């Protein structure tokens, strides 16, 4: 009987590329996004006056969006994310399964957070209207959104979050299949030849073959 994990296991992902290639592309993409965020945060910390002026003029408020402490925490998180994504990219490229685990755990955590957001919208639908009221007056289409029926807004938000969750679940499956592929290659046995129609002879892994003690040489042939 095939287990559910084996039923969903595949070595190909979107665009018909290998799961290793997909994981490498995903890791590089996440690194680029977090690198851009880190550069923005570092530039804001370097020139806080200009940053507060831009945020207050764009949002139409005099309140500071983030103070220096929060920006330092966000920069540290972005730096940590760059490290985790770099580990996943290196692990998929060099076929080290243990290096992919931190990135996979981050994906599970991110998926759980988005699921909680969807549940909170479903349980407390009025939070959408409260969020729209907190937006600045210069936000585009704010009045049109607030005049829309609350049930329609809830359905639209749930549909949007559902699409995001489906896409994130697919990416999680790709990274998990990459981990299984890489870890499987390091521990699989190699087929040598077939002796009969239903019997195969397998070569043991390299570590076990090295650990096997050498056999004694056969006795020398002597003439009678």
Which residue do the tokens 């990416």 mark?
171
Residue 203 CA, distance from chain mean position: 36
Predicted pLDDT at 206: 54
Contacts by 59-63 with C-beta closer than 8 Å and gap 24+?
59/136, 59/138, 60/136, 60/137, 60/138, 61/136
Please give the residue that has the higher pLDDT: either 58 or 105. Answer: 105
Instruction: Indicate if the pLDDT at residue 30 is higher than 90.
Output: yes
Q: How many CB atoms lie within 10 A of CB 87?
A: 18
Give percent of the chain with pLDDT exceeding 90.
29
Nearest to 41 by CA among 59, 6, 62, 68: 68
Domain boundaries, the chain: 15-55+67-197
pLDDT band at 70 (very low <50, low <70, confident <90, very high): confident
Average pLDDT, the chain: 76
Q: What is the pLDDT of residues 165-200, one digit of tens each?
A: 999 999 999 899 889 888 877 655 444 444 444 444
Contact in structure between 55 and 65 (CB atoms under 8 Å): yes
Instruction: Indicate if the pLDDT at residue 4 is higher than 90.
Output: no
Q: Can you tell me the mean pLDDT for 146-153?
A: 79
Predicted pLDDT at 48: 66
């Amino acid at each position: 009987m095939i287990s559910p994990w084996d039923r969903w296991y595949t070595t190909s992902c979107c665009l018909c590329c290998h799961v290793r290639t997909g994981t490498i592309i995903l890791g590089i993409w996440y690194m680029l996004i977090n690198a851009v965020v880190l550069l923005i945060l570092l530039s804001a910390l370097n020139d806080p006056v200009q940053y507060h002026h831009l945020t207050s003029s764009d949002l139409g408020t005099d309140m500071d969006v983030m103070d220096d402490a929060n920006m330092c925490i966000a920069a540290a998180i972005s730096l940590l994310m760059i490290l985790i994504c770099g580990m996943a990219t290196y692990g998929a490229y060099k076929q080290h399964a243990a290096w992919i685990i931190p990135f996979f755990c981050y994906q599970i955590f991110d998926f759980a957070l988005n699921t909680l957001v969807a549940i909170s919208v479903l349980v407390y639908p009025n939070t959408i209207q409260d969020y729209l009221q907190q937006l600045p007056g210069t936000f585009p289409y704010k009045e049109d959104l607030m005049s829309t029926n609350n049930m329609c807004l809830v359905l639209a938000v749930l549909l949007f979050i559902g699409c995001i969750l489906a896409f994130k679940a697919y990416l999680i499956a790709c990274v998990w299949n990459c981990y299984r592929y890489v870890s499987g290659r390091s521990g699989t046995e190699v087929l040598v030849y077939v002796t009969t129609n239903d019997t195969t002879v397998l070569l043991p892994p390299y570590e076990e073959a090295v650990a096997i003690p050498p056999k004694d040489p056969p006795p020398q042939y002597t003439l009678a």
